[in-house]
Amino acid sequence: MSGLAITAPRERVDRLGLLLTTVGAAALIGLPFVVFKSNRIVPGEPRALHEVLPLWGALGLQFVLLGNAAVALGVADARRRLVAALAGIVVLALAVAAAANALTPPGNKVVRIAPGGASWVLLLCLGLMATDAITRMRPRPLVRVLLLVLTLAIAGAALSRGTFDNLSVMREYAVNAGRFPGEFRRHVWLAGGSLIAALIVGLPLGVLCHRVPRLRPPVLGTLNVIQTIPAIALFGILMAPLGALAARLPAAAALGIRGIGAAPAVVALFLYSLLPMVADTVIGLRRVSQAAVEAALGMGMTGSQVLSRIELPLALPVILTGIRVVLVQNIGMVTIAALIGGGGLGTFVFQGIGQNAIDLVLLGAIPIVALAFSASVLLDALIETLERSGSASPGAAS
Amino acid sequence: MIRVEKLTKRYDATTVVDDVSFEVERNSITVVVGTSGSGKSTLLRMINRLVEPSSGRVLLDGADTRSEPAHLLRRRIGYVIQGNGLFPHRTVAENVATVPRLLGWPDERIQARVTELLEIFQLDPALYAGVLPHQLSGGQQQRVGVARALAAEPAVLLMDEPFGALDPIIRAKAQEDLLAIQRRFGTTVVLVTHDMDEAFHLGHSIAVMSEGRLLQYDRPATLLTQPADSFVARMTGLSDRALKLLALTSAGDAVLPGESEGPRVASSASLREVLSELLWRRADSALVLGEDGAPRGQLTVAAILARAHP
């Protein structure tokens, strides 16, 4: 591979490319390509690339990966790097799927074939190469969203066509197919619901803290303390009061409020969400040009007109940053809600841990990562669009 | 027009504005001048009730300004601040339309008014109506700020150090614009500045403030010839008070009958400018021309010098 690097004599070798190539090559040589288990429980047996794919397939994949290494090391153009990385990911995924198909005896639903260390490391390297290329391209927000949609569409099409059906994660999906959509929706609902609750309470609280500076230290201090309570402890703390509430008020119980389940999970997530919501609202409002606020008041806007027409629109990008933090944080933290019967994708994660079935853990974890990543890309694009439209451009000096 | 009666503002123990009374004539420019911390801005902000007085009152056309809600009062009074305070997320046209929109004018009237104002302020509506403030130069932003303040045709315009952030050349242009606008609309202007030259250039009347107190409120010439105390005298500038006095009189007002072979000067030029021209050309007299270009008479160095003292 060092020979390939010399093809770009005057340019220095791309450092990230060098790292990714080294790590990827080491993984391909030293780690199994897939792991074979004759059933779900037994320890896996490592299988190397040449053991699972026909010769032309193994050589073909290695050829594509070599090409990727050459691009990573010697090509500076970000677009070509992105195309190469994406092509590499697709070929790698297809190779893993082909390996799973080859290793699965026809009609056998008991064997489990999972991607091995080499596949994961290569996926990580190619993923990093792609993200790095996208960062270098600085695409417009709309382009980033389109890239996300395209990626999700391709992944969705492959999944619905059954391309990966013989992989262990999809085997676990097939077993849990009845429960998966419900838990997925529940996960989104728990994360989104607590965000909306935090928005309804946090936004006015942030405005209040901005208007009454004396309130700021106690409010932010309290929310800070809440942040330091571990999630499990907070669930425990909430169980007693919510349980008591349900026991006293039948109406509350009828609404689904109980000591365990979704209620303490949503309340805990809501409490965690308040700090970023309130803090970012305060920061956003403080960043608004004082000259603009003074001029608005001086021209006869009422206090609420100044807030709705000047302060909130100008603070919006920062407030959206808070919403982004909260949403991504919640999507991850909802996972723990499964521990107290709150449901969501965490159910699969904890079942998988309990059964020592890593594939079941992945069935929960991969959609969680995809959800958090998508939410982050979408909100980032929204924030940048607003900033480009001039909302966040600083006012003239006052 | 505007009557300020015994206006006082205290914050806890400090008195920022101390028992200030004066009256602003209709269709005039009154400049409030003072060092920083003299209370001049607070005084201005009490006129449109951005600051509520501790005691005293302000009468606008004879009516106490507290007889209506503060935000309704402010919609009738133009307000320009240093750094212009344009809304960075609104276009130039939207900025200018702010008060007419608050007043609920019909769209066509707002549109027509915005176009008219942008043209008056030499901002081609086709080019500038749709751009955001940060795309404008400092001088253009300042003009939009003034246009916005005048949008709802207020009888009174309050300006708080409106030209403070501009460089000298743009500032001179902005001052000329203000004088032209004031003549055109007959707006009553109250302007706050710390720049004595600006005060003499713009003000029909000047109020000198120090430590919250109004030291003197007079015509510019009176301020020079009869300063109320040594502070006012120092503020107005002892070293060049003779030249300042000459700057306050135009050639047209001082012209004497007769002919002159000397340089020709416009009757709108100040005596200071005429004197400077005569000294530069080593001439004894100048021919003063009217606005139509016809000779109106002459001015001699001696006649000008005779006006350079009380």
pLDDT tens digits, one per residue of B68-116: 999 999 999 999 998 889 999 999 999 999 999 999 999 999 999 999 9
ipTM, 2 decimals?
A: 0.86
pLDDT at B83: 81
Rounded-to-integer distance, Cα B202 and Cα B306, Å: 24
Chain A partners of B74 at a C-beta cutoff of 8 Å? 297-300
**CA end-to-end span of chain A:** 59
Q: How far apart are CA B91 and CA B184, in angstroms?
A: 26
Q: Do A395 and B141 touch (CB under 8 A)?
A: no
> CB–CB of B96/B144 below 8 Å?
yes
Out of B75, B81, B86, the one facing A300 most closely (by C-beta) is B75
Q: Is the CB of residue A374 less than 8 Å away from at least one CB of chain B?
A: no
Q: For chain A (length 398 residues), average pLDDT per consecutive 10?
A: 46 82 90 87 84 87 91 88 92 92 84 90 93 89 91 92 88 89 92 92 94 90 89 82 80 74 84 91 92 93 94 92 91 88 89 87 93 93 80 39
3-state secondary structure of B54: coil
Compute and round to an integer the Cα radius of gyration of chain A. Answer: 26
Distances from the Cα of B276 to the Cα of B9, B279, B310, angstroms:
45, 5, 20
Where chain B has pLDDT below 70, the residues are none
- DSSP-assigned letter for residue A311: I
**H helix or E strand, kind and range, residue B2:** strand B2-11
The two beta strands, B77-81 and B156-160, are parallel
Of B170, B95, B4, which Cα lies nearest the Cα of A296? Answer: B95
SS3 for A124-160, per residue? Answer: HHHHHHHHHHHHHHCCCHHHHHHHHHHHHHHHHHHHH
Check: pTM over 0.80? Answer yes or no.
no
Establish how many alpha carbons lie within 13 A of residue B157's alpha carbon, considering only the half-sphere containing its beta carbon: 28
Name the residue of chain A whose CA is nearest to B78's CA: A299
pLDDT at site A148? 92
Give how far Cα A196 sits from Cα of A192, A228, A281, Å: 6, 22, 15
Q: Which of A302, A391, A396 sits opposite B86 (nearest CB)?
A: A396
Interface A–B counts its CB contacts (< 8 A) at 90
Cα distances (Å, whole numbers) of residue A283 to A79, A138, A311:
37, 26, 11
Indicate the helix (H) or strand (E) that contains A217.
Answer: helix A216-228
Please give the structure tokens belonging to residue A186: 């529940």
Q: Are B25 and B205 in contact (CB under 8 A)?
A: yes
Q: Which long-range contacts (CB under 8 A, 24 or more apart) does A33-36 make?
A: A33/A96, A33/A99, A33/A115, A33/A116, A33/A118, A33/A119, A34/A96, A34/A99, A34/A100, A34/A103, A34/A113, A34/A114, A34/A115, A34/A116, A34/A119, A35/A113, A35/A114, A35/A115, A35/A116, A36/A103, A36/A111, A36/A112, A36/A113
User: Is A287's Cβ below 8 Å from some Cβ in B?
Assistant: no
pLDDT (0 to 100) of residue A41: 76
pLDDT the model gives residue A37: 86
∠ CA B105-B110-B112, nearest 5°, is 140
Give B208→chain A minimum CA distance, Å. 24
Give dist(CA B243, CA A371) in Å, integer. 76
Question: Residue B23 phi/psi, 5° resolution?
Answer: -130, 135
Phi and psi at residue A75, in whole multiples of 5°? -100, 125
Q: Tokens representing A372?
A: 């958090």
Q: What is the pLDDT of residue A397?
A: 34
Residue type, B174: A
Collect all residues of chain B within an 8 Å Cβ-Cβ radius of residue A393. Answer: 88, 132, 134
Q: In the prediction, which pLDDT does A11 show? A: 55
In b/e form, how buried is each residue of A112-129, taking b as 16+ CB within 10 angstroms? bbbbbbbbebbbebbebb
Contact B88 A305 (CB under 8 A): no
Q: Minimal Cα distance from A391: which residue of B?
A: B89
Nearest-CB residue to A390 (from B72, B73, B88): B88
Distance CA A193, CA A254 (A): 18
Can you tell me the distance from the alpha carbon of A113 to that of A355, in angstroms, rounded to the nearest whole number?
A: 17
The residue type of A256 is G
Q: Give the DSSP letter of residue A213.
A: G
Measured CA to CA, the distance from residue B165 to residue A217 in angstroms comes to 35
Distance from CA of A140 to the nearest CA of B (A): 20
3-class DSSP assignment, residue A177: coil
Nearest to B83 among A293, A300, A397 (CB): A397
Distance separating alpha carbons of residues B222 and A206, to the nearest angstrom: 54
Contacts of A288 in chain B (CB under 8 A): none
Across the interface, which of B82, B89, B99 has its CB nearest the CB of A300? B99
CA distances from B82 to A244, A291, B163, B183 (A): 59, 8, 7, 22
B236 vs A209: CA distance, rounded Å: 46
Rounded distance between C-alpha atoms, residue B175 and residue B230, angstroms: 29
Name the token pair of A375: 């939410």
